[in-house]
Amino acid sequence: MFFIIGGYFTTKGLVNVNRQINYEPTQPIFYSHKVHAGVNQINCLYCHGNAWESKTAAIPSVNVCMNCHKTIQKYGGPELKDRNGNVVDGTREIQKLYEYAGFNPAQPDAWDPSKAKPIEWVKIHNLPDHVYFNHSQHVRVGNVQCQTCHGDITGMDEVYQFSELSMGWCVNCHRQTKVNFNVDSTGGNQFYSIYEKFHNDIKSGKMDSVTVKDIGAWSVKNVTINS
């Protein structure tokens, strides 16, 4: 009984190794997604445009931040607080951005963007080296919303890891998620026109929909590639 119980808890503990759910590191600048994406309704793809067309979502350069903050020099939004409940000076955080950008608000026209230094943001969402995850495949092709993996990002001041991002978590999503399969003259992903068997099964009533699992993204090999 000792070995059985001990083995159970040991295995359960080892399964959670390197899973960073709720991981919330301190960032060099207090950047509030709640203010930017929530209150001001800035589209996620404005800052993370790579998510639409490439593997990574990418971190916006300082120059992207300065597209707005060259003119927005003082913070006038709702009160900001860190995870410990301490009030954050939003205007001071904008000044930190200026320090990275090499920008002097008193001489805005003299700013040279080429002299900007990258902000050393701390990466939050990490996957094992053997896992290939493509943002564009999910966001653009699969029409998966950012909140599915990242949680209510529009309500977060300080971003934390919402999902466990484990293999099982990905597999369960692939098991349940339906693809945009109905290909005709009015819509559907044209890529799926090659799945003749599934089209025939839908017409005959054997299937009513096609999930990610059905198109192969459920085996260990394909989940590693596609999830």
pLDDT per position as a tens digit, 32-52: 999 999 999 999 999 999 999
Output the pLDDT for position 184: 67
Task: Decide if 75 is inside a domain.
Answer: yes
**Mean pLDDT, rounded, for 207-215:** 85
Q: Which residues fall within 8 angstroms of residue 52, CB to CB, at 6 or more apart?
A: 45, 135, 136, 139, 140
Q: What's the pLDDT at 220?
A: 46
Report the pLDDT value the prediction gives residue 217, as an integer from 0 to 100. Answer: 64
Name the pLDDT band for 79 (thresholds 50, 70, 90): very high
Structural domain span for residue 46: 20-162
- Both structure tokens of 41: 């309704």
Give the residue, 144 or 216, on which the prediction is more confident.
144
In the predicted model, what is the mean pLDDT of the chain?
A: 87
The alpha helices in the chain, defined as continuous H runs, are 2-15, 33, 44-47, 62-69, 90-101, 135-136, 146-150, 167-176, 196-204, 220-226
- Per cent of the chain over pLDDT 90 is 57
Q: Taking the chain, what is the end-to-end CA distance rounded to the nearest angstrom?
A: 38
Q: What is the pLDDT of residue 219?
A: 55
Tokens of 68: 């707005």
Is 6 among the domain residues? no
- Please indicate, yes or no, if residue 86 is contained in any of the structural domains: yes
Residues forming a β-bridge with 211: 178
Domain membership flag for residue 155: yes
Whole-number pLDDT of residue 224: 41
State both tokens at 86: 């301490």
In a domain, 210, yes or no: no
Number of domains within the chain: 1
> Which residues are CB-neighbours of 127 under 8 A, at least 6 positions away?
133, 165
Q: Are 62 and 70 in contact, with CB atoms under 8 Å apart? A: no
Are the C-beta atoms of 211 and 178 separated by less than 8 Å?
yes
Type of residue found at 189: N
Residue 35 region, left (φ>0) first, then alpha (ψ -120 to 50), else beta? alpha
In a domain, 216, yes or no: no
Domain-located, residue 199: no
In a domain, 169, yes or no: no
Backbone CA torsion sign across 184, 190, 194, 198: negative
Residue 196 to residue 217: CA distance in whole angstroms: 18
Quote the DSSP letter at residue 87: E
